[in-house]
Structure 1
Amino acid sequence: MRRSIAILLFDDVEVLDACGPFEVFSVANRVAERAGTAALFDVTLVGIDDGAVRARGGMRIGVDTTIDDPRGFDVVLVPGGVVDAVEADSRVLQWLQRIRPTAETVASVCTGVFVLAAAGLLDERPVTTHWEDLELLGDRWPALVVHEGVRYIDHGDLATSAGISAGLDLALHLVARWAGADHALATAGQMDYDWSGAEHP
């Protein structure tokens, strides 16, 4: 099954939060094609508005479409960064709420979990985020079960990861979930990334 993946982009997004998972899914496609099979993922970069976003550090990244696009996606990934404006943007929250019922998996990297929480997409199941923001997440949403010391937590329909580089681990885990551990390990090897494939709670 070829999955459609939407990665939300916004000003002050953390570069690796967004581009790390993008690279994992892109390389997983190359590994599949080299093995003579079809690509596994169609990745779409979704902006709040048209035009490039300016990521943290000043990197400009173009988008493929915007949250006004009526399409649904199999997977929606919300990266972190400076998310104050994003989690207060009613258009973003409504987009997530609209897309959630038909998405197979909604995921966050780092502080992207704050956007999911603001949209009301989290429940009593454990979540995680960057180590600097664990206490703030629990303070703002005391009903959440916030875990530290894990790279990611996957519940099937909901997945969250710790900070920045942990998005690579989560994305590789998702590749393993959908395409098998061997494919994920081959993807990590192609990226020259040290990944054991170990499960996390």
Structure 2
Amino acid sequence: MRLGIYLFDEVEVLDFAGPFEVFNTASRLVHRADPQAAPPFEVLTLAPSLAPVRARGGLLVTPQHVFSEAPPLDLLIVPGGVVTAELARPGLSDWLVRQSLQLKALASICTGAFLLEKAGLLNEREATTHWEDLEDLQAVSQASGSLLRVVVHQRWVEARPWVHHGGRCRLFSSAGISAGIDLSLHLVAEFASVDLARRTARQMDYEWRAANGTVLHTVL
């Protein structure tokens, strides 16, 4: 499956690097077990241009594709950070809507949920974001006339899918940095296998938690 991670200036580093590590580690483990096996995930980075993205803290990252010219994707992750400029970016909302017509799953991390809300993808659905931004997300959705219901006290949320004539796109949102890693492991479990997700968490020495906080894999 081809997975895209959207990058932009002031993106939160671990919001994109955490999922990047999860999906690449999962593929590496499959290759280690069977060098002839096809990797379950191909991970691409997408951005407004091919110029280096300056993430929060000044980290420079070179994207692989311009988002408007991205190859066909199966999964898309929209991380958080300072999203003010992205909310005003021409064409981004329309691109996200078009992607939802072909994706198997679209997931936001942290304030990435604001970009999905701006695109109208969360109307009449449930979503969450970082605890500092829950009230703002609710206020923004009310101001826009959206019927989004903001969920608190969950690490991630799966909303009602975006159904269209050609299929359905599953919609996910997650809270902060570690919740985005939890959600990424959940997506590995959903689109590859639970066993691979557990082995990935073990390889990363990571305590994987479910949406409600239940520990699914412990490092102890």
TM-score range, shorter chain: over 0.9
Q: Where does residue 113 of structure 1 map in the other structure?
A: 113
- Deviation string, structure 1 residues 85-115 (Cα, Å, up to 9, x no partner): 1011122112212211111111100000000
What secondary structure is seen at the aligned counterpart in 2 of 1:81?
A: coil
The one-letter amino acid of 2:151's match is H
Alpha-carbon separation, structure 2, partners of 1:55 and 1:190: 26
Alpha-carbon distance, 1:84 to partner: 0.6
Alpha-carbon separation, structure 1, partners of 2:211 and 2:81: 25
Q: Where does residue 27 of structure 2 map in the other structure?
A: 29
Higher strand share: 2
Determine what percentage of the aligned residue pairs are the same residue.
Answer: 46
Moved over 6 A (4+): none
Question: Which structure 2 residue ranges, 5 or more long, are not aligned?
Answer: 162-169, 214-220
1:65 maps to 2:65: yes
Q: Where does residue 2 of structure 2 map in the other structure?
A: 4
Q: Where does residue 164 of structure 2 map in the other structure?
A: none
Higher Rg of the two aligned structures: 2
Q: Where does residue 196 of structure 2 map in the other structure?
A: 183
Alpha-carbon separation, structure 1, partners of 2:104 and 2:192: 15
- Deviation string, structure 1 residues 158-179 (Cα, Å, up to 9, x no partner): 0000012211000000001112
Q: Where does residue 147 of structure 1 map in the other structure?
A: 151
Q: Is the 8 A contact 2:106 2:172 kept in 1?
A: yes
What secondary structure is seen at the aligned counterpart in 2 of 1:7?
A: strand
Q: Where does residue 88 of structure 1 map in the other structure?
A: 88
The one-letter amino acid of 1:28's match is A
Q: Where does residue 78 of structure 1 map in the other structure?
A: 78
Q: Is the 8 A contact 2:126 2:149 kept in 1?
A: yes
1:160 maps to 2:173: yes
What secondary structure is seen at the aligned counterpart in 1 of 2:26?
A: helix
Superposition CA RMSD, Å: 1.5
Q: Is the 8 A contact 1:153 1:200 kept in 2?
A: no
What secondary structure is seen at the aligned counterpart in 2 of 1:76?
A: strand
TM-score relative to the length of structure 2: 0.86
TM-score relative to the length of structure 1: 0.94
What secondary structure is seen at the aligned counterpart in 2 of 1:148?
A: coil
Question: Which structure 1 residue ranges, 5 or more long, are not aligned?
Answer: none
